[in-house]
A = this chain, B = another copy of it.
């Protein structure tokens, strides 16, 4: 499956190892440098972390996209060092990574975007990076999107890829992307790094609107540990080689957003399922809300509750913790209107109806808490808005991974 993974027409990928992954927690792959190239200058859009402490590549990419979103040629990504809290030198290093990549690809530095993930507060080992970029921009690099998806992993246990096509207008449009996640995962942004490509023909501002719409139903709906990284970045590149033009507000735009949302949702769910130490995906649906914002407030508070996440890990259908989280969310819920069900809709078990414990077989509810995914569906009984968020269970391995990340 993974080996057949490709980017959208008009894009290629390669990867190499240059020795940046020093922690045993990141040893799943020694590949640590990934390059995505567009065969010709392409449209690009990006969404970035809301954290006030932004890594150097985030600042660099924001500046670059503001000036040159219509003519991007490449994205260079390293794993192992986040290049965050590294001051002026960090910003200079991010610029240098772009310049080195541009040199290898024979394009301009402001046509290159830079992504970094890994440890915060360490200077980039630019000797290694320099050598790595020389390799990854040459035929000597390992080729293919599958290896690039592996190279950007840190504590991820598996690569995360998604691709899909749809007929839009007169022709087929492809959207294909890969991402990495694992820790510090929380809206907004929910992913640490994601690169999505398409062969649709889309102007940068329209591309940005489409990306924002897709992220709102995907990457901004997942949580691993409530923490938001300094580096979170979601990039979308559009080559246009399909010949299908996507105009703002057109029927094609809606179709494109739908396809893009599907791919982004697939990637986001892969991130949630592969949260650090996670063993299962948890899908939380909050319905009957007064509005979507209220549904989100409740769903997110449930999704970040360590008590709920550990209960799922233990297969303990401790629904009191769902109520506790909903109650502390700040949303104006009415405890007497809450109805809570576990399990997929077709064989749900209602554990609470209109605020009162329902009668059910504890053993059967516990069985639903040991499935993957685990479904938690809370109806607030106040209105008709609803939302879905995804998270993962919370295991001892999360602690193990994070107690010894830098050492």
How far, in angstroms, from A323 to B227 measured CA to CA in the complex? 11
Besides A51-B324, A54-B335, A396-B396, 16 other CB < 8 A contacts?
A52-B327, A52-B335, A53-B335, A85-B335, A87-B356, A225-B307, A226-B305, A228-B328, A229-B324, A306-B306, A310-B398, A310-B403, A315-B407, A318-B406, A320-B406, A399-B399
Q: Which of A353-407 contact B (CB under 8 A)?
A: 355-357, 366, 394-396, 398-407
| Binary interface encoding of chain A residues 41-83 relative to chain B, with 1 for a CB under 8 A from any of its CBs, else 0 | 0000000001111100000000000000000000000000010
Copies of this chain, whole number: 2
Cα A366 to Cα B313 in complex, Å, equals 31
Nearest residue, chain B, Cβ from A305: B227
Asked if B230 contacts A327 (CB within 8 A), the reply is yes
Whether the Cβ atoms of B304 and A402 lie closer than 8 Å is no
A158 at the binding interface (Cβ < 8 Å): no
User: Once the chains are docked, how many angstroms separate the CA of A319 from the CA of B136?
Assistant: 32
For residue A107, which residues in chain B have a CB less than 8 angstroms away from its CB?
none
Chain B CB within 8 A of A325 CB:
yes
With A87-B355, A307-B184: A402-B314 Cβ-Cβ less than 8 Å = yes
Residue-wise interface mask of A (281-321) relative to B, using a CB-CB cutoff of 8 A (1 in contact, 0 not): 00000000000000000000000111100110111101111
Contact of A50 among B123, B305, B328, B333 (CB under 8 A): B328
A251 to chain B minimum Cβ distance, whole angstroms, is: 38
A residues at B contact (CB < 8 Å): 50-54, 82, 84-87, 119-123, 183-184, 186, 225-230, 304-307, 310-311, 313-316, 318-321, 323-329, 331-333, 335, 352, 355-357, 366, 394-396, 398-407
Bound state CA distance, A84 and B120, in angstroms? 43
How far is B340's CA from A237's CA once the two chains are assembled, in angstroms? Answer: 39
A81, chain B: closest CB distance, angstroms: 11
- Closest chain-B Cβ to A136's Cβ sits at a distance in Å of 26
Q: How far is the CB of A148 from chain B (nearest CB, A)?
A: 25
Task: Give 26 A-B contacts (CB < 8 Å), ordered by A residue.
Answer: A52-B335, A54-B327, A85-B320, A86-B357, A87-B355, A121-B319, A122-B357, A184-B324, A225-B307, A226-B226, A226-B306, A227-B305, A227-B321, A227-B325, A227-B328, A228-B327, A230-B320, A306-B402, A307-B402, A310-B401, A311-B402, A314-B407, A316-B403, A316-B405, A316-B407, A320-B406
